[in-house]
Structure 1
Amino acid sequence: MASTDDPLLLLRQSIAAGSQIIPTTSADSSEEAPLSKATHLVFTHPTRIAVPIDAPTRFTSTEGKAVDVRSIYFAWLNRDFAIPEYNAVATKLNEEMAGAAAVHMFAFVERLVLFTFLEGAQEESEFIKPLPGDKDAAAGTGAAAAGASLKAAPAVPGRAGKGTLDPRLAQIYSGERRMGDRNTVLRGIKPTDFSHVRKLAAPFLTRKPGGPPLAGGVGASATIPLNQKPARRPDPIILLSPSASSLLRMSNAKAFLEGGRYTPPDHNSSSTMLHISRLLKDIDPSRPMRFILVEGPEQFKPEYWNRVVAVFTTGQAWQFKNYRWSNPSELFKHVLGIYLGWRGEQPPEAVRVFGHRVLACSVEKWRDPGQPGAETSRWRDREVVEAIWKGIEANMRAKGWRKDAAPVAI
C-alpha cells in the first residue's frame, strides 16, 4: 500500500489540516451517512480519496488483530469520552449494525497510542506497523549511518549543549521513542475534572461539633492547623455564701478546703475570686483539678452555670436571688448544696427542709489558740474537709465530669 493511500496517514493529515472527513454509502457519493450504514470513508485532503470503511489498518490491537478504519475513525470522534462512556456509545453502534460489523473497543493504552499518533506527537509504536517502504528505507539509512560512523567519527554536539557526543550514541539517541507530555502519558488527552472532590472534602473543612465553622466555608482559603491542640477542660466552680454569718468565706476557704484546717473568716477581706487545687482520683488521677471559688454569680456568663459543682449556703433565701435557679429546691436538683455549721448545733430549719440535696457538715467551735487544749480539737477539720470533697467528687462524676471533658449541661 502506498503511503498516500494509507488510512492512518490520511486520517492524520486530515486532522492536521482540519479538512472534512465524510462517511458515505459509496465511493462516488459525497453525502454523509451514519457510521452504522456507511461503506466508505472519504478524505478530502490532500486529494479526494475514498477508503473502504471496513478496510484493515496498520494499527494492531493487544490481541494482534488489525483494527479497521471504522473503529479508528469512531474512536477519534469520541476521543473526549472516558473509557466507560466510550464503551457505551461503541456498544450502541454495534447494536445498530446488528452483527453486520462491529467496532473495536479500545483499551486505555491503545487509545493513548492511537491519539498521540493521530495528533502527530508520536511516529512509531508497538501497536502501529511501519509501512513496507519506510521499513526498508530505515534499514538502509541505519546501515549507511553505521558504516559512516565506523569510518569517520565527526564531532556531534551533545544533547545538553556541552562538549561533543560519540556518533554511535547519537545514532542510538536518534532511535529513541518519543514520549508524550504529562497529560497524554498520565491521564490521556482528556483533562480530569476533580470538582466533585470539594463535596467529599466539605465535612473535613469544618470544625468539630459544637465549634464554629471555618471562616469562608469550603470555598475559602482557610486552613486547619496541623498541630491543633485539643480543647482544654474548663475549671469547675464553687459558689460560697456571701452572708456575714457564713463560717466559710473567701478569706479562710483556701486554708480549710485545701489545707484541712479551719480558721475564722476575715470580714475585712476584699478578695472576689480564689483558686484552689484538689486531686480527685476517680475523675483524673494524674493531675490535680483547679477549682474557682466566688461568692456570687454577678460576672457569670450563661455557660458558666454548667461548671458549678457546689454551693455553700446558710439557708438564707436571698442568697439565690441572682442565681440561674432562684428557687432553692430547684437549684439543689442541679447542684450539690453544702452547709457548714458548728459541731453540737442543729442546722437551720431552712437547711433541713432541703433534705438530702444539701450536705450538712459541722466543725469544732473555734477557740483562741492561746487557751489550753485549743489546738487538740482541730484535728477533726481534715475529716470534715474529706467528707465535703467526697460529696463534690461523687456529684461531679454523676454530672459527667471526666478526665478531659466537662458536662455541656447540668
Structure 2
Amino acid sequence: MADAITLLHKCHTAKLAYSLAPPEGNSPSASTDDPRQAASVLFPNPPSTDPVRIDASAPSGFKDYDVRSLLYFYQSRELGFSDYLRATSSDKKSFSFMDRKELLDLLDTEPAALKNDPITGASKRPAEEGPLTDSAKRPRLTLDPKDVEFVRHVRERERIVPDNSGNTSLRPTTKQTFASIMELGRKRMAEKHRKPQPGSTHPARPVSQPDPRRANASASRSQPQAKPSQSRHKTPDSRIPIIIVPSVPTARLTLWNVKQFLAETLYIPTQKFVDSGEPKGLRVTFERQLRPNHIGGPKFPKTYQVVDSADNIKPDDWPRVVAAFVTGQGWQFGRWKYKEPAQLFSKVKGFCLKYVDEPAPGDVDKWAVAKLDIHRGIRHNDYNAVNKFWDQVDAFILRDKRKVFFD
C-alpha cells in the first residue's frame, strides 16, 4: 500500500481532496477539518474508485513525522513559520524550518522523482550494495547543552598572552647573558653622564625654541574639559532598559523565545527554535504595549534590549540593567559586574521562569528572586506570569532607576 506522502503528492499535483474521519463514537457522517482531531484519513486513489484509508497516527513516509503532523503542516503551509510554531506550541511534534522547505520542494517534484527520493523512504537499497556494516554506520553527534555551556564559559575566561616579539632583549639575534646586558647598561649610563670635552668636534645642540602650536595645545589641555557623562544620557540608547537571560539552551527563557513571551504573552519552548535551525543573535530588541493608565506615565520606557552575555554590556551600561533571569547556578554571574547574589539582586531585579509542577532550580530559593510559574500545555495562563514580571519591573524602575531613565 502506498504511504501517506505518496498519496498526498498525488492529491497536491492532481488537485484532489482527501477527507478526515473523526474518532469512533461520532456520527458516521461527521467530519473534521483539523488533522490533529482526526482518527484516519481517506485518500483518493485514481483510477480506483475506492479510497485508501490510513491511520492518522501512522508513519507518513516523510522522515519521522506521522500522518497527523504531515497533514496539519500541509494545511498550514501558507502561514508564516512563526505563526505555525505558535499554532503547534502544545503539539508533541511539529515541522522544523528545514523540513518545511524540504517537504514543499518535494511536493512540487515529478511523480517519478518522488519514487526514487531517499527522503520518503520509498526507494530500496540495491541488493549488490549489501547492508551497512557497524563501522559504516555513523551515529549522529549529539552534544549535551550543559557541556556546550561549560566550554563556552571556560573560553570566556581565557586570556591571550601578548606577543613580545618586538622586545629584542627577550628575542635576541645573538646569544646574550645577564652579565652582558648589565655591562651594556653600565656603558650607556656612563655615556649619558659624560661631560663634553673642550674642542669637541660635535656641534652644540641649538637651544630649542618654543613651538606656538605645542603651547596652544598645552593651554587647551590645562583648561577643564566637559565631562562626557554630562551628555551621555542624551543618547537614545541610554534610556533603553536591559534584560539579561541565560545563554544555556536548556533554560526556560532564552534569546530565542524572550520576545514572544514578554511582548506577546506567549511561551514557546526554546527547543522548537533549536530544532528548526533558527539562529540566535547577540541581542533582541522589542517594544511593549503600555496600558493607557500606566503608573509611569506616557514617558515610561517602551523599548527593551535583551542580552544573554555580560560581554555585550559595557561598564557604563550596567545601571540600565533592570532584570535578570537566572538558572540557580552561581557561575552564571562569573563575568557580571556584580558577582555576589546579595549585591546583584540589590541592583537588578531577579526572576526565575519555571514550570508550575517543577521545583525551583539550584539556589533560587536562597536568593531574592521572584519565581514566575507557567504551565506546560496551557498557554492562556502565560498572561499571568508576564503581568507579574512587568508589574515588578515597573515598580523597580520607578523606585531605584528613576535617575537613569527619567532625569
State TM-score, norm by structure 1. Answer: 0.39
Structure label with greater radius of gyration: 1
Structure with greater contact order relative to length (CA < 8 Å, sep ≥ 6): 2
State TM-score, norm by structure 2. Answer: 0.39
